[in-house]
Amino acid sequence: MDIALQQEWKELVKKLELTFGEGIEIEAIILLIGIQELGKGYFKPSKDEKMDLLHIATCKLLEPSGYYKYMGKDADGWPQWETIANAPALKPGEQKELMKRAIISYFKDNEMAGTEE
């Protein structure tokens, strides 16, 4: 991971920790994005709902790269996505780097967590 990405990631995590507490991990950040994108406010999701929220977040994060296309919401108000292209085969470290870049872009695009100076 390049130095600029490392620095941006550290700054984002630091800002998120002010709200959500120290030690927030990437998986928790992705889950928070899923909750945000669902748009129903905070709730205690079941195990299945957590998986769905992670999927929502992943689709949202990878949409700008052309992997998914937003199709609208289902009858229960959950966002639905269509797979446009399969993500390339990446090693776990590369997957994490791809997601970190996408998360940083997401927060910048949404001007959340004070990522804009």
Strands (E), the chain: 68-73, 79-83
Q: Is the pLDDT of residue 114 over 50?
A: no
pLDDT tens digits for range 78-92: 999 999 998 778 888
Q: Where are the domains of the chain?
A: 11-109
What per-residue confidence (pLDDT) applies to 75?
93
Confirm if 73 and 79 have CB atoms less than 8 A apart: yes
pLDDT band at 1 (very low <50, low <70, confident <90, very high): low
* Average pLDDT estimate for 85-113: 87
pLDDT tens digits for range 30-69: 999 999 999 988 788 999 999 999 999 999 999 999 999 9
**80 Cβ partners below 8 Å, 6+ apart?**
70, 71, 72, 73, 74
